[in-house]
Structure 1
Amino acid sequence: MRRTASPLSLILLGTGVFLLVLAPLLVSYVSPRAKKNPIDISTTTVFTGTGSYFDTKSLELARDKPLTITRQVRGDVADSVRSGRAVWDVSTSIDTEETLPAADTTDSLQWTLERWVTDRRTNEPVHCCKEQPVFDGEAYLKFPFDVEKRTYRWWDGTLGSTVSLRFSGTKKIQGYEGYRFTGTVAPAKTGTRMVPGRLVGLPERGQVLAEEWYANHGVELVVDRRTGRIVNAMIGPRKTLRAPGGKKDALVLLDSRRMEFTPATQRAQVAQASADSDKLRLVGETLPVGGGAAGIALAGSGLFLVVRGRRDTPDQG
């Protein structure tokens, strides 16, 4: 008599071995390659709050007025593919009630256009592709993947330098929990501007090269742990002018204690973070663990049937 394994046992054994081989590949090969900054990004985030600003029409300080910050991020797909980096064009405008909706960005209280280039996997800055400005740090429009409970260097474009944001626990936004990072920006000189002397307390001088100063009452970012996406942001910008060599602020250009993502922006950011996080969890945790467990079960069953459940067939001779 010759003993042969049943087709079922071989199928179970083969499938189990395949799943056992696939599980570590998902963790070591597929998951790291899924953690890449997108190149076809197209998002708009909106902050709202109240504050004071210098009204250039009345030449007076407008106090406790609604303010809106709108940031649009568009990926330059062609340059991203060509360079292998994430090339993002970022438009940021600060508007008052009078300049909304902004038919022309030049009507805004403030408008900037930047180009940020990062390594798609590490999120570190890459200095190429007509980057503007040259920036530094670890966190910008997003944090790196797999956010840690530590202090990060966050790039503040207005300051033109990095700010230390420390891990400050967790916080729920629209019911979704993220890591909370906080920090402040002490007053710092960021540039100069030619203005009438009377605006900075020097009425006897026609035009002076006033000093631009910037501070931030408080920065709070709530970040999705897996993707590094910012699901909520709160900032408190303060921009002022000082007389040349002055020790005190002479004119407030912009001052707000709290500008925060609108509820609509929070919902959109949470929805995207949740969807992306679920995909990463699937390839990095659910499939490897489930596949490994299924592989062990199937391979074990198949091996058992091969050893113990073969069919006896007559020898041919």
Structure 2
Amino acid sequence: MVATVLGVLLLVVGILAKPFLYDRLATVALDQKSTSVSEGRNMSALYAHDDNGSAAFDKLENVTLRSTRQVLGIPGAVKDAKKQDTDAFWQTTVRSQADLNGKWTDLTYSDEGVSFNRKTGESTNCCGDYKSAGDLADPTKTVPVSHQGLFFKFPFDVQKKTYKWWDGDLSSAQDMEYLREETLHGVKTYVFRQTTPKTEVTSRDVPKAIFGDSASGDVNAKVMYGNVRTLWIEPNTGVLIKGQEELDKSLQADGYDEVATTKGTIGYTEATVKENADKWGSKGRLLGFINGALTPLGIGVGILLVALGVFLLFGDRSARKRATTA
């Protein structure tokens, strides 16, 4: 009797694993909260700051840069009741700093709000997406933006194919191509890469002083951007375990030498990678088991236990019947 009950239970679990358990677990949280830190050594950057009441522009070379990214889910941002089960809205802020004489000094600050599908990770623009238009002096200034593709994460059950990933500098989603598998701290990841050849993304008037010109006034400059972005993704959850960017951002103006605004390789610190691997490795394995082996295992073992229970039940009845007849 016990074997039969247990077998039926396992059959139910196996049958419902994907349509019930997996469907509910493979959904991102509305109240997400996380921090990731990236660092890059021997980088170049432009440091705009105030020097005794005057604007100063220091061209930093061979410095260490740090980028601290915080992600905060805002459940109340999804006001449409029909979308509350399918969409999430997360805010991400990034503060970039340079190590100047042993002190972390602020360089830039950004703030962005993104709405996306809780299962596929695709941008939905349902709930007032925005991006930062301010700076360190006024970090709250924002403008509306229409996002495309993936932003925070890949979909659950990641496939070895090309996805579209949002690039904020280009204001569009670009191909993120699958490269290979790689293990980080015992966690299997899929490695993807997005390559953007250096190109002009816009132009704007900037102070001549940026180019070392002592004359007052502005000059029209091309804003140049190139990047090789590599992401290590836990395939069951679609979460980033590690990220790295090979940046080449600069300003170009006729008659002046090019000025690097950010150049060099920056990526997640080893502490951030390990923390991500420790947190998402076990969750990924559990989700993969529910989405994969649990169904055939539950159904297979369930059938065997039910068969065993039936055999024991009728076998016991036959034995008792023979004993009574004798």
Matching of residues 261-300 of structure 1 within 5 Å: 261-300=268-307
Determine which of 48, 69, 79 is the counterpart of 1:56: 48
Gaps of 5+ in 2: 50-55, 131-144
Mapped to 1, the partners of 2:103 and 2:270 lie a distance apart of 19
Amino acid in structure 2 at the alignment position of 1:255: K
Shift of 1:206: 2.4
Partner in structure 2 of residue 233 of structure 1: 243
Partner in structure 2 of residue 78 of structure 1: 76
Q: CA RMSD in A?
A: 2.9
Matching of residues 149-164 of structure 1 within 5 Å: 149-164=160-175
Matching of residues 21-60 of structure 1 within 5 Å: 21-50=12-41, 51-57=43-49, 59-60=57-58
Mapped to 2, the partners of 1:204 and 1:12 lie a distance apart of 89
Among the aligned pairs, what percent are the same residue? Answer: 26
1:143 and 2:154 are equivalent in the alignment? yes
Matching of residues 94-105 of structure 1 within 5 Å: 94-98=96-100
Q: Deviations over 1:136-178 (max 9, x none)?
A: 11x3221111111111211111221222222111122233221
Mapped to 1, the partners of 2:283 and 2:170 lie a distance apart of 31
Give the number of equivalent residue pairs.
297
Structure 1's 206 and 101: CA in aligned 2 closer, same or farther, altered over 3 A?
closer
Mapped to 2, the partners of 1:27 and 1:101 lie a distance apart of 51
Partner in structure 2 of residue 4 of structure 1: none
Mapped to 1, the partners of 2:292 and 2:255 lie a distance apart of 56
Matching of residues 163-312 of structure 1 within 5 Å: 163-197=174-208, 199=210, 206-216=217-227, 218-243=228-253, 250-256=258-264, 258-310=265-317, 311-312=320-321
Structure 1's 45 and 289: CA in aligned 2 closer, same or farther, altered over 3 A?
same
Partner in structure 2 of residue 68 of structure 1: 66
Mapped to 2, the partners of 1:314 and 1:247 lie a distance apart of 109
Tell me: higher relative CO, structure 1 or 2? Use CA pairs within 8 A at least 6 residues apart: 1
Shift of 1:248: 9.1
Question: SS state of the match for residue 161, structure 2?
Answer: coil
Shift of 1:113: 0.2
Mapped to 2, the partners of 1:172 and 1:287 lie a distance apart of 24
Question: In 2, are the aligned partners of 1:159 and 1:188 still within 8 Å (CA)?
Answer: no
Shift of 1:260: 1.2
Shift of 1:282: 4.2
Mapped to 2, the partners of 1:99 and 1:220 lie a distance apart of 30
Shift of 1:204: 7.2
Mapped to 2, the partners of 1:186 and 1:19 lie a distance apart of 54
Return the TM-score normalized by structure 1.
Answer: 0.83
Q: Deviations over 1:259-278 (max 9, x none)?
A: 11101100111112213213
Mapped to 2, the partners of 1:197 and 1:170 lie a distance apart of 47
Return the TM-score normalized by structure 2.
Answer: 0.81
Question: SS state of the match for residue 109, structure 1?
Answer: strand
Q: Deviations over 1:245-293 (max 9, x none)?
A: x59973221111x111101100111112213213313433454344223
Structure 1's 100 and 45: CA in aligned 2 closer, same or farther, altered over 3 A?
farther
Mapped to 1, the partners of 2:303 and 2:158 lie a distance apart of 32
Structure 1's 251 and 155: CA in aligned 2 closer, same or farther, altered over 3 A?
same
Amino acid in structure 2 at the alignment position of 1:242: Q
Shift of 1:196: 2.3
Amino acid in structure 1 at the alignment position of 2:119: R
Moved more, 147-156 or 189-198: 189-198
Question: In 1, are the aligned partners of 2:48 and 2:107 still within 8 Å (CA)?
Answer: no
Shift of 1:76: 0.5
Mapped to 2, the partners of 1:71 and 1:185 lie a distance apart of 22
Partner in structure 1 of residue 4 of structure 2: 13
